[in-house]
Structure 1
Amino acid sequence: MQSVAEFDNVGLRYGTGAETLTDVSFRLFPGSFYFLTGASGAGKTSLLKLLYLSHRPSRGAIRMFGEDLVNMPRARLPGFRRRIGVVFQDFRLVPHLTAFDNIALPLRIAGISERDLEGPVNEMLAWIGLTERADARPATLSGGEQQRVAIARAVIGRPEILVADEPTGNVDPDMALRLLKLFAALNRLGTTVIVATHDIHLLQEIEGAQMMRLDKGRLSDPTGSLKHPPRPLVLRN
């Protein structure tokens, strides 16, 4: 099975300091679901930045969707980014847009008509429990509500890869599980999902998900599970 992303001895250094990531190698397969864990400062956010093409590595090779990203012209990167959904830790909602319009943004960028996007956006608002807040702007939403809008925006376009940085950090346990079910449903449609989290309880919710653990910038993979296609994904009741 061809991987959707492959890292080969990747290192990342900010400025002249020590490496944040060192000799990171793994493959992500279509339809796989990964939890990325590790202590604070282990390099989780830095690894995600490489995955959603915010940064290029200091050394090593990265291939995504079968193409070399390290040497790819910058002009081609935006097209690749549209294939990746991202949930940022700090939400990054557009402040002057309503919840509805923030969620609809990826569809509008993709050229979807207003008539065709209204149904999917309203369905997503209902799923995250914010139908009555569709016209609210980010400044009037709570942190948890902003997080839900950010997640809905990331998944509505059914990206090929979904990258989520602590997506359940600002919601209660019931909503965390509901959002995890949303990720799992997207995963069953074929999206490769990678979720960075400190909440080890989430790992117990999805049978078949695999774990990537970073320790001081190095990837710990004692089972070799990141080199082979995943098992079928099942959400525990």
Structure 2
Amino acid sequence: MNAGRDPIVRFDNVGLRYGTDREVLSDLNFALLPDSFYFLTGPSGAGKTSLLRLLYLAQKPSRGIISMFGENAGLLPRKALPPLRRRIGVVFQDFRLIDHLSVFDNVALPLRIGRIAEEELRESVSDMLDWVGLGHRAEAHPAVLSGGEQQRVAIARAVIARPEVLVADEPTGNVDPAMGRKLIRLFEALNRLGTTVVVATHDRTLQKEVSVAHMMKLDRGRLTIAEPAA
């Protein structure tokens, strides 16, 4: 279904090093297609989180070109980056919820930044919280939530605005297997609506849940991508 369509993300000869250390990522050449689903795998220390940081534009490469939505991200002025980042949903491994905001307001934040009318966003956020099993926690604050609940809030916030690209770092690491499968179903539904999804995970069971997923494997800083099984 992606034949003939331009990539939504492209890496050309991208490398990343921190300081004067050796490269963490080397010679990355790949393209992410619209409407596609990718699992990112690899051993601890392979550079998965670093690659995700490049994907959501939190980190600049040491060399090479990253193109997002047809734009060379390295050539864009600083003021052009926030609008570009708003097209990307991110599920962080450490959640990064805003402590002084309620669960509802954390999830509503992307819609408010996007200037969605309050009466419209209230229904969307309430429905999303019900879907992830947190409708009864809408007025709670992150400090009183369990790790699994915080994870679900972070995921709800990342997907509420239907981003064009969703990047998720171990998004099911703090929830039970049943909720993990439910969250993957949510990512699949978002993918069917047109979002390109990249999920970093060690969970082989989850990897088998999505038959259309491409498999991205990092090993010693280098990446290979396998097509979905027929």
Specify the TM-score bucket, using the shorter chain as the normaliser: over 0.9
Quick one: which of 104, 111, 114 aligns to 2:115? 111
Unaligned runs of 5+ in 1: 233-237
1:97 aligned to 2:101?
yes
Q: 1:18 to 1:12 in 2, by over 3 A?
A: same
Q: Give 1:68-107 correspondences, 5 Å limit.
A: 68-107=72-111
- Counterpart in 1 of 2:66? 62
How many residues matched? 226
- Counterpart in 2 of 1:152? 156
Distance in 1 (alpha carbons) for counterparts of 2:29 and 2:49:
16
Which structure 1 residue ranges, 4+ long, deviate > 4 Å from structure 2?
Answer: none
Unaligned runs of 5+ in 2: none
- Counterpart in 2 of 1:165? 169
- Counterpart in 1 of 2:141? 137
**SS of alignment partner, residue 31 of structure 2:** strand
Q: What is the percentage of aligned positions where both structures have the same residue? A: 65
1:175 aligned to 2:174?
no
**SS of alignment partner, residue 61 of structure 1:** strand
1:184 aligned to 2:188?
yes
**SS of alignment partner, residue 175 of structure 2:** coil
Quick one: which of 174, 179, 197 aligns to 1:193? 197
The amino acid that maps onto 2:13 is N
TM-score normalised to structure 1 length: 0.93
Distance in 2 (alpha carbons) for counterparts of 1:214 and 1:74:
30
TM-score normalised to structure 2 length: 0.96
The alpha-carbon deviation at position 25 of structure 1 amounts to 1.0
**SS of alignment partner, residue 93 of structure 1:** coil
RMSD (Å) for aligned C-alpha atoms? 1.2
Quick one: which of 11, 21, 30 aligns to 2:15? 11
The alpha-carbon deviation at position 36 of structure 1 amounts to 0.2
Distance in 1 (alpha carbons) for counterparts of 2:75 and 2:54:
14
Distance in 2 (alpha carbons) for counterparts of 1:189 and 1:48:
22
1:52 aligned to 2:56?
yes
Give CA deviations for 1:61-106 in whole Å, capped at 9, x if unaligned: 1111011012221111001000000000000000000100000000
